[in-house]
Homo-oligomer: A and B are copies of this chain.
Amino acid sequence: MDRALTWSPPYRAISPRPAIQKVFNFHPPKAKIGSIKPIDVHVSGGATLWFMGSIDPSELWSVILHTINGHESASKLQLFSSFISPPSFSVRIALNLKGVDYECKPVYLFKGEQFQPEYLKINPMGYVPAIVDGDIILADSSAIMWYLDEKYPQHPLLPSDFKKKAINYQASHVVSSSLQPILRVPILMYIKEHVGHEQQISWIHKHLEKCFTALEELLKDHAGKYATGDELFLADVFLAPYVIGYPEKYNFDMTEFPLLSRLGEEYLKIEAIQGAIPEKQIDFDRSFYYMDVSN
């Protein structure tokens, strides 16, 4: 893994190990990199280590790893999430794609843990997902995606092409702003309680149909192997939780959505996505998984 350490010009190294963010401030410049001094090493969690004197760059990484031993595990990114939450699923995919090692902190929504004072300090909305990464505490899947992409640049979630970037923003927000909030469990429970069980199912189907129809139209001229080409980007990360397992859970017919159906199949071939599915999470509970649709 140490060999995967990449040097980008000049005077900067990005580690493949997520706990170590950046090595920078090399003096003197690249040409004399063998005589680095000092080196400022930033570790997630806020620690700064200084190395004085001459270090061979080929030895640098093992010196750093040795020095921060112990600190690393304490500063691992924490993901507060639930197996039942699609945006938690999206954030897990992003973390996996980026190879960020994280600690899962399940929030048991059906026990009301999201409304406990300790959790409200992390996210005053009482929603999952939220992350704690060093001194950053952040909630909302879109905000977290931005953070992850800025902090962990490996496997960018946005393409460099301007139009492709725009379509990724739009498609991901169709999911995060127009579908996901309407299909939150408390909203579904409200509809079931105040309107009825059948109307709850129609509510789910109506909103899935509206958003899926728009997404098919939006992506039809952009899709390749994945939503906006042959690489996985933000649109895929947000879409995946709704085309994997979700239609089956709510008995939603995907016949009219051939592109989304195909994407769902492609996504399941990807290790970063396989590892993020609800069934593989430590808090997965089949009886709760279907609770919001049971009569």
CB neighbours of A135 from chain B (8 A) = 163
A residues lining the B interface (CB < 8 Å): 120, 123-127, 135-136, 138-140, 142-143, 146-147, 150, 162-163, 166, 169-170, 173-174, 176-178, 180-182, 187, 194-195, 199, 210-211, 213-215, 217-218
CB neighbours of A213 from chain B (8 A) = 124
Q: List 15 A-B contacts (CB under 8 A).
A: A124-B213, A124-B215, A124-B217, A125-B174, A125-B178, A125-B210, A127-B178, A138-B170, A140-B169, A142-B173, A147-B166, A150-B162, A176-B177, A177-B180, A194-B199
Pick from B125, B178, B214: contact of A214, CB under 8 Å: B125
Nearest-Cβ distance from residue A155 to partner chain B, whole angstroms: 20
> How many angstroms between the C-alpha atoms of A143 and B158 in the bound complex?
13
A140 near B194: Cβ-Cβ < 8 Å? no
> How many angstroms between the C-alpha atoms of A152 and B29 in the bound complex?
34
Chain B, residue nearest A123 (CB): B214
Pick from B136, B147, B181, B218: contact of A181, CB under 8 Å: B181
A170 near B187: Cβ-Cβ < 8 Å? no
A177 near B181: Cβ-Cβ < 8 Å? yes
B170 near A139: Cβ-Cβ < 8 Å? yes
CB neighbours of A181 from chain B (8 A) = 177-178, 181-182
CB neighbours of A120 from chain B (8 A) = 217
Pick from B146, B214, B218: contact of A169, CB under 8 Å: B146
CB neighbours of A174 from chain B (8 A) = 125, 140
A124 near B177: Cβ-Cβ < 8 Å? no
Chain B, residue nearest A180 (CB): B177
List the 5 closest A-B pairs by CB distance, nearest first: A143-B169, A124-B214, A124-B217, A181-B181, A140-B173
B125 near A211: Cβ-Cβ < 8 Å? yes
> How many angstroms between the C-alpha atoms of A143 and B177 in the bound complex?
11
B166 near A136: Cβ-Cβ < 8 Å? yes
A170 near B140: Cβ-Cβ < 8 Å? yes
Contact A138/B124 with A178-B181, A194-B195 known, Cβ cut-off 8 Å:
no
> How many angstroms between the C-alpha atoms of A182 and B125 in the bound complex?
14
> How many angstroms between the C-alpha atoms of A150 and B176 in the bound complex?
21
Instruction: Indicate the member of A125, A162, A178 with the most B CB atoms within 10 Å.
Output: A125
CB neighbours of A138 from chain B (8 A) = 166, 169-170
> How many angstroms between the C-alpha atoms of A123 and B217 in the bound complex?
10
Extra contacts, 4 of them, besides A125-B211, A142-B169 (Cβ < 8 A), are: A123-B214, A135-B163, A140-B177, A147-B169
Instruction: Indicate the member of A176, A181, A213 with the most B CB atoms within 10 Å.
Output: A181
